[in-house]
Amino acid sequence: MAYSFPVEVLEHIFSFIDSDNDRNAVSLVCKSWYEIERWCRRKIFIGNCYAVTPRIMIRRFPELRSVSLKGKPHFADFNLVPEGWGGYVDPWVLAMGRAYPFLEELRLKRMVVSDEALEMVSKSFKNFKVLVLSSCEGFTTDGLASIAANCRNLRELDLRESDVEDLGGNWLSCFPESCTSLVSLNISCLGSDWSLQSLSALERLVGRSPNLRRLRLNRAVPLDKLANLLRRAPQLVELGTGTFSSELRPDVFSNLSGAFSGCKELKALSGFWDAVPSHLPAVYTICSGLTSLNLSDANIQSSDLVKLISECQNLQRLWVFDYIEDSGLEALAESCKNLQELRVFPSDPYAMEPNVTLTEQGLVAVSEGCPKLESVLYFCRQFTNNALFTIAKNRPNLTRFRLCIIEPRTPDYITLEPLDAGFGAIVQNCKELRRLSLSGLLTDRVFEHIGTHAKKLEMLSIAFAGDSDLGLYHVLSGCKSLRKLEIRDCPFGDKALLANAAKLETMRSLWMSSCLVSFEACKLLGQKMPRLNVEVIDERGPPDSRPESYPVEKLYIYRSVAGPRLDMPAFVWTMDEELALRLS
């Protein structure tokens, strides 16, 4: 059948198929479809840069235009992955520079990017359009200067949450006057000290970018410059302000207010560093159009938050500090009936006593009042099983539920019981749940619930929970769709891991730190499963300097067709057969 269609026809049909999963399915139909598909695939997403090598990627997909790569495991965000672990993009850039002269897009997450790599990107790809560096590190403003200077058709430069070393200079002025193609610029993670030249370079850049839709400034951009920028870019759809405080002069305020009202297409707002409540009304004119509001960098208190939020009836996403308190969340539940995503961050997580009145009540209220709520990230200090039952009952449409009770192993504060039943209700009722993070006091029971009910769960984060291997066993044997599992400080050991070794090849990765997996088990796993990279991360020295039954510090297991990697630092050991033989 496949042979009766000309290749061009099949290619044309395939060009409408965008999703990676569908493309993968197409390539499995038959050999000729595999061949046709691989030549016309333009976009690839590699969830673990060590699962495959640049050479393998290039060999199979010779005509890519867009590459997305992820490096370090998620727990690197919380300083659990030691410095120097890996995730270097340089070898990828080197290989792609030769193989993909027409590459247009590069999206990296949690990777180490050097200035040299950025320079290479800027010079190797003549039609380079999109650079997204999410939670990356290792580069400076010099690297950014190369991108600005050499990428003639740059559309997107997004540095979200990356750690960039600011070497001063004025990299923004490296954008040539002829560069007018910018659509998205996110520099919110950059430092707080900027010169006047940088500010005016920014103004000029914004002024000559008629297609600019997304602009996220950094803290260094003062409030009195914001009005000017807005007037030059009234077509903005997303705005991240700079610092949102200044001397309260009436003319600054009215200027700002006027500038905001000119931005009739604004849908998303963020920034608001140092926001002074009296300045907030400047944005009221555009609030009714907002679908996304990120106040998680602003120390605004509850009553001012409520005033602002009540203007935003169409809000779909809200990120906010726990200053909002239960009362604010109740008001949110009243006014924002389209809310889909809520994230509440802790303003003082290290304090012994709560500094705000944010409890389980707030989340319960939102779950009751917001019928479209599907994604939750909630930091608080107390919870009850009953509250979880209520949330589960109200919101069976939850797809992402991350609850962080700040103190590890905190029980239900009323009954003093573990929160097993509550989380059990969540997984049982929310059948579409894809992501779950647990906290509080939890026994093996909760894992039994999860293994039994969470059939669509793809990512699970566990900390300070469980009693025994049985907990891990339930998860590995029950969660059919599990792709990423990350565990810290749980009494999970060898048995469950070894009994479910085959499961690990169906997942992207497993992270376990401060658990009870012995070096011996790691060796065994590494030997028996050639398509798994079993990395032992241990800063105490070589694993063979301790008895084999000692637990390893950290363990990162991921499936790979690339074999053990060659860029491991001294504190990482992979358990391939040869190494295992040498060590035994």
Burial class (CB in 10 A: 0-12, 13-18, 19+), 512: buried
3-state SS class at 502: helix
b/e burial code for range 98-123 (CB count within 10 A of at least 16 → b): ebbeebbbbbbbbbbbbbebbbbbbe
In terms of CB distance, is 95 or 501 closer to another protein?
501
Q: How far is residue 201's CA from residue 195's CA, in Å, rounded to a whole number?
A: 10
In terms of CB distance, is 269 or 404 closer to another protein?
404
Applying CB under 8 A, among 196, 416, 561, 566 the residue interacting with another protein is 416
Q: Is 549 in the site for another protein (CB under 8 A)?
A: yes
Q: Is 247 in the site for another protein (CB under 8 A)?
A: yes
In terms of CB distance, is 262 or 491 closer to another protein?
491
Q: Is 551 in the site for another protein (CB under 8 A)?
A: yes
In terms of CB distance, is 57 or 515 closer to another protein?
515
Q: Is 544 in the site for another protein (CB under 8 A)?
A: no
Q: Is 165 in the site for another protein (CB under 8 A)?
A: no
Q: Is 350 in the site for another protein (CB under 8 A)?
A: yes
Are residues 320 and 295 in contact, defined by beta-carbon separation less than 8 angstroms?
yes
In terms of CB distance, is 477 or 549 closer to another protein?
549
Q: Is 19 in the site for another protein (CB under 8 A)?
A: no
Footprint (CB under 8 A) of another protein, residues 90-129: none
Which of these, 474, 438, 472, lies nearest to 557 by C-alpha position? 472
In terms of CB distance, is 92 or 519 closer to another protein?
519
Q: Is 514 in the site for another protein (CB under 8 A)?
A: yes
What's the min distance (Å) between Cβ of 395 and another protein? 22
Applying CB under 8 A, among 217, 318, 339, 516 the residue interacting with another protein is 516
Q: How far is residue 475's CA from residue 447's CA, in Å, rounded to a whole number?
A: 6
Distances in Å between the Cα of 320 and the Cα atoms of 33, 251, 438 are 48, 29, 21
Which residue intervals of 69-193 are DSSP H helices? 90-99, 115-124, 141-150
Q: Is 296 in the site for another protein (CB under 8 A)?
A: yes
Q: Which stretch binds another protein (CB under 8 A): 199-207, 391-399, 507-515, 522-530?
A: 507-515
Q: Is 276 in the site for another protein (CB under 8 A)?
A: yes
Please name the residue that has the structure tokens 């992270």: 511
Q: Which stretch binds another protein (CB under 8 A): 41-49, 324-332, 384-392, 488-496?
A: 488-496
- Report residue 253 CA to chain centroid gap: 35
- How many H-runs (helices) and E-runs (strands) does the chain carry? 22, 23
The DSSP element (H or E) to which 319 belongs, if any, is: strand 317-321
Q: How far is residue 299's CA from residue 343's CA, in Å, rounded to a whole number?
A: 15
What's the min distance (Å) between Cβ of 233 and another protein? 23
Q: Is 341 in the site for another protein (CB under 8 A)?
A: no
Applying CB under 8 A, among 4, 19, 21, 79 the residue interacting with another protein is 79
Which of these, 173, 229, 216, 222, lies nearest to 193 by C-alpha position? 222
In terms of CB distance, is 404 or 510 closer to another protein?
404
Q: What is the helix, strand, coil percentage profile of the chain, to 5?
A: 40, 20, 45
Q: How far is residue 440's CA from residue 463's CA, in Å, rounded to a whole number?
A: 9
Q: Is 413 in the site for another protein (CB under 8 A)?
A: yes
What's the min distance (Å) between Cβ of 90 and another protein? 22
Are residues 551 and 516 in contact, defined by beta-carbon separation less than 8 angstroms?
yes
In terms of CB distance, is 407 or 577 closer to another protein?
407
Which of these, 163, 161, 212, lies nearest to 184 by C-alpha position? 212
Applying CB under 8 A, among 90, 348, 368, 505 the residue interacting with another protein is 348
Q: Is 218 in the site for another protein (CB under 8 A)?
A: no
Instruction: By CB under 8 A, name the binding residues for another protein.
Output: 75, 77-80, 135, 161, 163, 189, 191-193, 222, 243, 245-247, 249, 274, 276, 296-297, 299, 301, 345-350, 352, 379, 404, 406-411, 413, 416, 437, 441, 443, 461, 463, 467-470, 488-489, 491, 493-495, 513-516, 518, 540, 546-547, 549-551, 553
